[in-house]
Amino acid sequence: MNTSWNDRTFTAANAGLLTLIGLVTIFPLYYVFVVSFTSAQEYMTKGFVLFPQSWSLISYQYIFSTKAFVNAIGVSGFLATAGTLISLLLTSSFSYTLSRKRLKGRKTLMVLVLITTLFQAGIIPDYLLVKQLGLINSLWALIVPVMTSGWYVLLMKGFYDSIPDALQEAASIDGCNEIGVWVKIILPLSIPSMVAFGLFFAVGYWNTFFNAMLYINNSHNWPLQMLLRNMIVDSSTSMGGSMAMGNDLQLPAETIKMAAVVVATVPILLVYPFLQKHFAKGAMIGSIKE
C-alpha cells in the first residue's frame, strides 16, 4: 500500500521524536550505571565518564561491606515480602466480601471505601494514629497504614464481580462454605490480578520513603530508600562500616551513591519481566464487564 509524502514525513518525525525522548530518558540511567562501575582514580581524574576505560566493583564492595547498607536491604526486603503478602490477603478477602450480593450493609461499606479514595486524613492525624498505636520506630508503621487501598479494593471487586455466580453456587452445592469457595475457586482464578496488585504493592513497599521519614527515628530500621536519601543529601560517604578494600583508598562519594542507586533499582527491574505476562492481563481487571 502506497503512502503519501505527508504520511511518511509524519512517521519519520514521530519516530525521531520518540527516539529522542527515549534517549533522554535512558541516559540518566546509563550514566548512573556507568559511574557506579568506574574506578576511583578514573572518576577523580575525569569527573565526567560516559564509558570507563576500566570497570571496577570497588564501590559495590564498599557499600556491601557496611552494616547500615546491608541492614537497609534486609529491612526493604522484609517490607516488600511481608507487606505484599499481607496487603494481598487483606485486599483480596475484603474485595471478595464486597462482591457478595447477600452481604448485609454492603452498600454502606462500599460508600465508606469510596470515601477513602476521595478524602485523606492528612499527615498529622496519620502520625497521631500511628503514635497512639505504639508503632513509632517499628517496621509495622511502614506496613499497617498502607496495607490496602480503597482504589485497589474497588478494582479487585470488579474482577470478582465478573466471575459467574453459577461457578460459586456449584462449589457451594458441593459442600464448600464461603471461605472454601474463596480459597479453592476464587484465588486460583485470581492469579493474574494477584500478580498485578502484588507488583504494585511490592514496588510501593520497596520504595517506602516518606512514611519512613515520618515514623522511623532509629537508623537501624531505615529502609533502603531512606538510607539512600541520606547518602545523597549528606556529602559524607560513610554508612557506618569500614572499607573492605582498605582504609588507605579514598572513594569518590558519587561512585558510592550511584552504586547504591543501582542496587536499589535493579531488584524491581529483574522481577517485572517474569511477571509481565500476568501483569498485562491483570492490569485490565474490572475494565470490561460482560
pLDDT for res 40: 78
Would residue 40 count as lying in a domain?
no
Q: What is the pLDDT of residues 221-263, one digit of tens each?
A: 999 999 888 887 765 444 544 344 444 457 777 888 888 888 8
Would residue 43 count as lying in a domain?
no
CATH number at residue 214: 1.10.3720.10
Average pLDDT over residues 97-119: 85
Would residue 68 count as lying in a domain?
yes
- 219 within 8 A of 8, measured Cβ to Cβ: no
Q: What is the pLDDT of residues 193-230, one digit of tens each?
A: 888 888 889 989 999 989 999 999 888 899 999 988 88
Domain span at residue 242 reads: 58-282
> By three-state DSSP, how is residue 32 classified?
helix
How many structural domains comprise the chain? 1
Would residue 31 count as lying in a domain?
no
Would residue 1 count as lying in a domain?
no
Would residue 18 count as lying in a domain?
no
Q: How far is residue 247 from each of residues 26, 234, 243, 282, measured CA to CA in Å?
A: 35, 20, 6, 50
Average pLDDT of the chain? Answer: 81
Would residue 6 count as lying in a domain?
no
| Residue 56 dihedral angles phi and psi, to the nearest 5° | -140, 145
Would residue 123 count as lying in a domain?
yes
Query: CA neighbours within 13 Å on the CB side: how many for 44?
Result: 9
Q: What is the pLDDT of residues 62-73, one digit of tens each?
A: 888 888 889 999
pLDDT for res 245: 46
- 184 within 8 A of 171, measured Cβ to Cβ: yes
Classify residue 251 by its DSSP letter: P
